[in-house]
Amino acid sequence: MGDPNKQSFRLTPQLKMSKFCHIAEALIQNLFRAAAEAGPHDILKLYNTKGNIINISPQLEPNSPHACYKLEVVAADCNREPLGAELAVALGFDLSSMEKRLQSLEKKILIEAGETPSIVYEMKNQVELFREKLESVEHLSWLGLFKELSDGTHKPSPFYHKRALRKTREECEHVREKFLQMSSLEVTEEVRQYLKTPTFDNWQWEDAEIMVLLQVMYTDLDFIPTFNIEQEVLQQFLYEVYRHYNNIPFHNFKHCFCVTQMMYGLIWLTDLRSKMDSIDLLTMLTSAVCHDLDHTGYNNAYQINARTELALRYNDISPLENHHCAVAFEILEKTESNIFRNLTTEQYKRIREGMIKCILATDMTRHNEILNKFKSILPVFDFNNKDHKDVLMMIMIKVSDISNEARPMDVAEPWLDCLLQEFFNQSDMEKLEGLPVTPFMDRDKVTKPSSQTGFIRFVLFPLFIELANLFPCLEQHIIDPVRKALDYYTEMEKALDKEKQNRAQSDKAGKSKETGADLPREPDVPLEQPSANQNLSKAGGALKPISL
């Protein structure tokens, strides 16, 4: 029967889509999900008869019984990893999926009804109780929210299913082989056009396929003939880049792709090819590819406070960004992966200078400095002025680096979950090591909406609006989606605040009732005296509800 996750099927008359059909893309995705019997956390890939990946969209051509599309179902959540799968089988159910479903239902209730029924609290507490039991045993701590540290100096990977921080040789070779096999396949024009838009969904693509798409970007921008880049050298460069991104929740190879894809899209949307030299565009795209190489999941504040090797090496000055840049040029020093090896000395010098500026600009401690410089030159911006172009290049990579909220919500929100996971891991480590705890990373103080509303208002909007002032065409592409994201998280934050108030009133009423009905009153003991459970709560022993 072949691979059970691949299904051949034909589009029935009810599913045929003509150019006049305006069915929403979400509906199309749901139809294919139903046809494949895919779960809510699975991702779908559609292949044509030539074996090329094609986009699931209303523009799909009808197929025939003799030339069927192939639909592949790919699991997206951590329980599809061996450890999670074994536990799911052993337990008889999938705890992580249950929790995700519960959180999804709770969020829906909060947004639509404005309050949460008491039964949801009970369900959440049951899940939390069971999670706590699992996490109290090291070999069962597969959800990854809390970790026991060994006596050694090696810190665990913050990746949620406990993969090693570094990729294994076998893992890399497997992806490399797959990439080389796929690199000669034709990427359809529809996918090429989709790749130029901020709506591109990275979650549909595996690492080997992502490397093919990165190759497409270099090809479609005409870098291959312009700079005499050999295909095998570009492929080796992309492989080395993939190999040097680590297994961490957020700053991984998929994030590298998202930043590069947004940069690529911005180049096309703003028609920069007619305004800037090709060598500057090559610098920007390659900077995006390399901007987080060998990130370990701990930010600069941690590096400096923990006095890590990187902080000591770079004297506390942008230690991560300096490291990313150094790793990039270590890759480019190897002849077999040096995509710049056919450039002149002057061209190489110009690219190196530009890449260093761009990658160091992604240090958020320099955000205001760079933004204010851009605002000061904006009224007289001149594409013939090198200093002006240098600042624009820094702004472009900054926008690309933090652009997730400009994407559709079903693409952006999973990235926020990944980011919070990485943040929470760092704050847990800071607490364990007695270091200053980064406030916006503290799992006891941060919720999903609270983490985003301020960030969107005070970081994203000021940056995106200034770039849109130079390129008004970007208003609809990056400003409007961010406005919708702000509205979404603002409503979620209001609903959470209301829930907290209702919960506090409910708890207060419940305690009053319990105290009045069950406890004997002593004349000299006031009713307000804390119970044993209340003292436990103050000591940090009470269970906390799961945050959205």
Q: Which residues pair with 46 in a beta bridge?
A: 54, 71
What's the chain's Rg over C-alpha atoms? 26
The SS3 assignment for 344 reads: coil
Residue whose token pair is 């980064």: 438
**Nearest Cα residue to 45 out of 11, 20, 70:** 70
Q: Is 247 annotated as contributing to ligand binding? A: no
Give the whole-angstrom CA distance, residue 506 versus residue 33: 41
Q: Is 252 annotated as contributing to ligand binding? A: yes
Q: Which of 41, 161, 251, 477 is catalytic?
A: 251
Tokens of 115: 């309050």
Q: Is 445 annotated as contributing to ligand binding? A: no
Q: Is 452 annotated as contributing to ligand binding? A: yes
The SS3 assignment for 293 reads: coil
Tokens of 188: 């359809």
Q: How far is CA 129 from CA 122, 145, 236, 309, in A?
A: 10, 14, 48, 39
Cβ-Cβ contacts under 8 Å for 83 (sequence gap 6 or more): 142, 161, 162
Is 388 one of the catalytic residues?
A: no
**Nearest Cα residue to 361 out of 404, 418, 400, 333:** 400
Q: Is 254 annotated as contributing to ligand binding? A: yes
Q: Which long-range contacts link 231-238 to residues 24+ away (Cβ below 8 Å)?
A: 231/183, 233/336, 233/337, 233/338, 233/339, 233/341, 234/339, 235/179, 235/180, 235/183, 235/211, 236/336, 236/337, 237/331, 237/332, 237/337, 237/338, 237/339, 238/179, 238/211, 238/214, 238/289
Residue whose token pair is 């957020």: 250
Quick one: DSSP state of residue 60? P
The DSSP string of 135-202 is: HTSGGG--S-SS----SSSPPPP--TT---SSPPHHHHHHHHHHHHHHTTSPPPHHHHHHTTSTT--G
Alpha helices, DSSP H, located in 309-344: 309-313, 319-333
Cβ-Cβ contacts under 8 Å for 343 (sequence gap 6 or more): 227, 351
The SS3 assignment for 19 reads: coil
**Nearest Cα residue to 114 out of 500, 534, 495:** 495
Give the whole-angstrom CA distance, residue 412 versus residue 416: 7
**Nearest Cα residue to 51 out of 182, 176, 177, 178:** 182
**Nearest Cα residue to 320 out of 286, 351, 366, 284:** 366
Per the annotation, where are the binding residues for AMP?
A: 251-255, 292, 401, 452
Binding residues for Zn(2+): 255, 291-292, 401
| Binding-site annotation, residues | 251-255, 291-292, 401, 452
Active-site residue list: 251
